[in-house]
Amino acid sequence: MFGLEKKDARLLLLVLALTMFAPFILNPFPEGSGWAQFNAGYPDLMQRFVIFGIFAIGFNILFGLTGYLSFGHAAFLGVGSYSAVWMFKLLSMNVLPAIALAVVTAGIFALIIGYVSLRRSGIYFSILTLAFAQMSFALAYSVLTPITGGETGLQLALDDPRILDGAAHAAGNIPVPGLFGLEMRDSAELVLGAWVFTFNIGYYFSAFVMLASFYLAIRIFRSPFGMMLRAIKSNQQRLNYTGLNPRPYTLAAFVISGMYAGLAGGLMASMDPLAGAERMFWTASGEVVLMTILGGVGTLIGPVLGAGMIKYMENILSKINSDILHTWFAFLPDGLENLLVTLVYPFIGKGWHLTLGILFMLVVIFLPGGLVEGGQRIAKLFGRKKAKDTDGGADAANSTTPAE
């Protein structure tokens, strides 16, 4: 299927099913119920799942295959966002030219930064990428204000030229990004009893791009180029002894990874045409590192799972407050109710980072392979139980069969 091995094809079909049926999967609880706040099937959050999934997939191509840990990948995310918004301002509100410019611009920027940073390896490489990202943030925040909009960010305006689309919407409002007449914010709702499912144009477009990005990542992982990147991660010094120069390969991986980040930035601007310097801050770079490690470094689906988990916690756990906790524990005596609320509250709401930190520590200590390793262990556990049951049944059958 699409030139993939059977195992990879099944993985691609799994990701396809998860993304296509996400509005149903992420809305397990009926509207109006006490558990509905855990639903994540609304367009903005689903878009974040797939966009940051793209960001993490690209980062994993660099970190997972070569072992080079970049702390500055948010710079390419920001460059992609700024490029897309400028395309919206100058040419058209069609998302395709904006995304194309975001990918190309981020690739050129990654080529420049990678050419300098890859002269060093290890922690020195990581510090160099961090320095470049922070310089990019400072430039976007203050120095390049006419280009980036400074601290307020780059936004659309009624007087933007937009050569192909005209300056304003038919109603006199600022137009919104679209794809050949389909606006990214357009949605349709399906009501089934107490459940409400939302199908959004912007989400499904982003999901399609993520599927294409995931397929490309599979081909890279299974290609001779991917094997060379694994050799660099395994023992770069031994590779040098064979007469091969690893720098062109690591630079190519760095550029490809930067282009993935630019693609994610372009999609973010396509869903919400605003670009700010905060997307280039070091915390955004650290976030994609957490996503990749939490999901599973070097795995194909791991970064997508890690991105989904962190964005879910950021958008769902952070909204739980003390009033909701009191509602949950209202069936308990007042003293016990207040005690439980006091104990749980530091880990939710504004303190959701504490929960994320504990989860990250547990994963690093007990599941070095991330969520993917956890899933594999569970599958092996059930496989062993099934095998034991089968063997037990076979032994019982053999014990009742008379010997010949």
Residue-wise pLDDT for 263-321, tens only, equals 999 999 999 998 999 999 998 999 999 999 999 999 999 999 999 999 999 888 888 88
**Model confidence pLDDT, tens digit, residues 10-46:** 999 999 999 999 999 999 988 877 788 888 988 999 9
**What are the Cα distances from residue 52, in Å, to 255, 279, 364, 368?**
18, 12, 21, 22
Considering only CA atoms, which of 108, 86, 153, 46 is closest in space to residue 261?
Answer: 108
Q: What's the mean per-residue pLDDT of the chain?
A: 88
Q: Strand, coil or helix: what is 247?
A: helix
Given this model, what pLDDT does residue 11 score?
92
Rounded Cα distance between 130 and 136, Å, is 10
Question: If you average pLDDT over each of 39-48, 164-173, 174-183, which comes out highest?
Answer: 39-48
**Model confidence pLDDT, tens digit, residues 361-400:** 998 899 888 999 988 888 888 877 666 666 655 554 444 4
Given this model, what pLDDT does residue 403 score?
38
Residue whose pair of structure tokens reads 């960010």 in the numeric block: 153
Spatial neighbors of 82 by CB under 8 A, at least 6 apart, are: 140, 147, 148, 154, 265, 269, 275
Instruction: Give the CB-side neighbour count of residue 224, counting CA atoms within 13 A.
Output: 0
Rounded Cα distance between 292 and 288, Å, is 6
Rounded Cα distance between 205 and 217, Å, is 18
Task: Give the chain's domain count.
Answer: 1
Rounded Cα distance between 344 and 120, Å, is 45
Within-domain flag for 338: no
* CA angle centred on 116, ends 73 and 294, rounded to 5°: 25
Q: Tell me the torsion sign for CA atoms 112, 116, 119, 121.
A: negative
Within-domain flag for 92: yes
Residue 2 in this model has a pLDDT that exceeds 90? no
Task: Give Cα 360 distance to the centre of its chain.
Answer: 16
Within-domain flag for 49: yes
Rounded Cα distance between 184 and 274, Å, is 14
Given this model, what pLDDT does residue 171 score?
56
Within-domain flag for 186: yes
Given this model, what pLDDT does residue 37 score?
84
Within-domain flag for 31: no
Terminal CA-to-CA distance of the chain, rounded, Å?
Answer: 50
pLDDT: which is higher, 387 or 163? 163
Residue 69 in this model has a pLDDT that exceeds 70? yes
Confidence band, pLDDT 50/70/90 cuts, at residue 331: confident
**What are the Cα distances from residue 261, in Å, to 3, 37, 79, 84, 234?**
25, 30, 9, 13, 25
Within-domain flag for 319: no
Range of the domain at 137: 43-304
**What are the Cα distances from residue 83, in Å, to 63, 140, 200, 253?**
25, 12, 24, 22
Within-domain flag for 145: yes
Confidence band, pLDDT 50/70/90 cuts, at residue 330: confident
Residue whose pair of structure tokens reads 């609304």 in the numeric block: 42
Within-domain flag for 265: yes
**Model confidence pLDDT, tens digit, residues 180-207:** 888 999 999 999 888 989 999 999 999 9
In three state form, how does the secondary structure of 319-378 look? HCCHHHHHHHCCCCCHHHHHHHHHHHHHHCHHHHHHHHHHHHHHHHHHCCCHHHHHHHHH
Q: Which structure tokens are listed for 73?
A: 């990948």
Residue 226 in this model has a pLDDT that exceeds 70? yes
Q: Which structure tokens are listed for 197?
A: 């499912």
pTM for the model: 0.91
pLDDT: which is higher, 260 or 395? 260
